[in-house]
Amino acid sequence: MEINDRIIQEYVPGKQITVAHVIAKPDSELYQKMGIIQTANEAVGILTITPSEASIIAVDIAIKSAEIEIGFVDRFSGAVVIIGDVLSVRIALDNVLETMKSLLGFTVVPLSTT
């Protein structure tokens, strides 16, 4: 690349959820690295959403769907972390995926679990 060459990058968000994952039994160190105080052996649910502002809608759906707590939500990156028992986290994420797909026309990935 020569000195006068320029690279232009554009971010054109689609309406999509690109990560939907449940960590059923996270190591306690994971909680520390995320800055979340672990109160029990709780599961962690993770979403990545574009446009990123839709993360606010996703968290609203999740918290109304099951007994979960918001671990983290970033309306600028679209990252969402929820915590709770495994079943509640799965129910919340399933509802987020279904509602975002059917009501708002999002493209979603299948929910995965480790």
The pLDDT assigned to 74 comes to: 93
Q: Residue holding tokens 């993360």?
A: 55
Model pTM score: 0.83
Average pLDDT over residues 70-80: 93
Sign of torsion over alpha carbons 18, 80, 26, 91: negative
CB atoms within 10 A of CB 6: 5
**Lowest-confidence region among 4-8, 28-32, 33-37, 53-57:** 4-8
Q: Does the domain spanning 16-113 belong to CATH 3.30.70.1710?
A: yes
Going from N- to C-terminal start, the domains of the chain cover 16-113
| Class of residue 2 by CB neighbours under 10 A (exposed 0-12, middle 13-18, buried 19+) | exposed
Average pLDDT over residues 18-44: 83
The model's confidence at residue 40, banded by pLDDT at 50, 70 and 90, is confident
